[in-house]
């Protein structure tokens, strides 16, 4: 299969999943694109695709918005983005993904099969801002802005539309700033435009289909989908990073 077809496949699958869940474009696309795309280009592709998906979704799903809930995540996220961009050249990406992937692969199945776990109430807005900070750092290091905030929202047990609104708008803002920063710092260049021109039409329809599916699912089903996707995200992180880390040992 040619590199172009693999890029299209990644955009189609990741676009649908993002439309359905409101996040995970980066992890889904990375698991497919990593086999044919150089690391320097991959981060820009992920941020571009995830941002495009959020722009499409924000006009399709507009329920549950609460500025009171959203602003601490945004405040933390905007602080975290420049930190993530600054550490990107120095970050041990494989070690970082192994640690985060292990957390997701262990904790999310526990939540999935333990529906009686109580929601986390502590911390309030300050703790939400800290979670947003981590999301902003992860956005700056490669467009993975939604992973930690989505897990935190699941732990908070927000209702379906509130969780979707927080993650969708958080991702839209942080990914927009991240892309602008990538362009300003030269991480994203004009030579990447032909690749972006492949990603955009490939993900357009799948993303919109995903948003339609989201509207029709129940609270319980949405929570199960989120936890399954987070678990898969953790496994993907381990699968793509652990072999590289072991070869260096």
H/E run at residue 94 = helix 93-113
Rg (CA), the chain: 17
| Domain parsing of the chain, residue ranges | 3-248
What is the pLDDT, as a whole number, of residue 183?
A: 93
In this structure, what DSSP letter does residue 189 have? -
Please determine, for residue 24, whether its predicted confidence score (pLDDT) is greater than 90: no
The answer to whether residue 161 scores a pLDDT higher than 90 is no
Q: What average pLDDT does this structure show over 205-222? A: 89
State the average pLDDT over residues 40-60: 85
Distance CA 138, CA 126 (A): 19
- C-alpha separations of 72 from 124, 129, 135, 229 in Å: 9, 4, 12, 25
A 10 A CB-CB count for 231 gives 19
* Closest alpha carbon to 145 in 10, 234, 22: 22
């Amino acid at each position: 299969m040619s590199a172009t077809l693999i890029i299209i496949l990644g955009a189609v699958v990741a676009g649908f999943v993002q439309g359905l869940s409101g996040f995970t474009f980066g992890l889904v696309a990375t698991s497919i694109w990593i086999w044919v795309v150089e690391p320097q280009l991959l981060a820009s592709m992920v941020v571009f695709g995830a941002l495009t998906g959020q722009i499409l979704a924000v006009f399709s799903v507009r329920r549950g918005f609460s500025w009171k809930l959203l602003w601490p995540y945004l405040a933390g996220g905007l602080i975290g983005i420049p930190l993530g961009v600054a550490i990107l050249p120095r970050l041990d990406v494989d070690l970082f993904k192994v640690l985060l992937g292990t957390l997701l692969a262990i904790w999310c199945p526990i939540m999935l099969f333990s529906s009686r776990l109580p929601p986390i109430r502590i911390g309030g807005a300050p703790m939400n801002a800290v979670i947003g900070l981590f999301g902003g750092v992860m956005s700056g290091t490669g467009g993975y802005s939604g992973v930690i905030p989505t897990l935190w929202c699941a732990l908070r047990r927000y209702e379906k539309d509130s969780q979707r609104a927080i993650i969708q708008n958080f991702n839209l803002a942080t990914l927009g700033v991240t892309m602008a920063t990538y362009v300003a710092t030269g991480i994203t260049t004009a030579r990447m435009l032909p690749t972006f021109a492949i990603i955009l039409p490939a993900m357009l329809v799948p993303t919109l289909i995903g948003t339609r599916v989201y509207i029709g699912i129940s609270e319980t089903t949405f929570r199960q989908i989120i936890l399954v996707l987070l678990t898969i995200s953790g496994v993907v992180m381990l699968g793509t990073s652990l072999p590289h880390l072991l070869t260096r040992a």
